[in-house]
Amino acid sequence: MTVERTILLVVGVIVLASVLLAVTVSIKWLWLTGILGAHLIQASFTGICPVVMTLKKMGLPTKAGFA
């Protein structure tokens, strides 16, 4: 698995988990989805993502995600 595909997996799991929590526990869990969306926008402009940095340090290879 590459860094790019792992990021897609992590984001998908967090979004689904926050929606599931919002439906079953409290609508207040949607703040997590909002923060994730804001972070994705910020990362697209700055290129800085702590999760990517962590995955690279763990030794995951990088490769174009959809090539």
pLDDT tens column, 20-57? 999 999 999 999 999 999 999 999 999 999 989 999 99
CA distance 29 to 1: 29
Write down the pLDDT at residue 56: 92
Closest listed residue to residue 32, CA positions, set 44, 19, 23, 45:
19
CA distance 24 to 6: 27
Q: Between these two residues, 37 and 64, which has the higher pLDDT value? A: 37
Would the pTM of this model clear 0.85, i.e. be above it? no
39, with CB counted inside 10 A (0-12, 13-18, 19+), is middle
- The DSSP letter of residue 59 is T
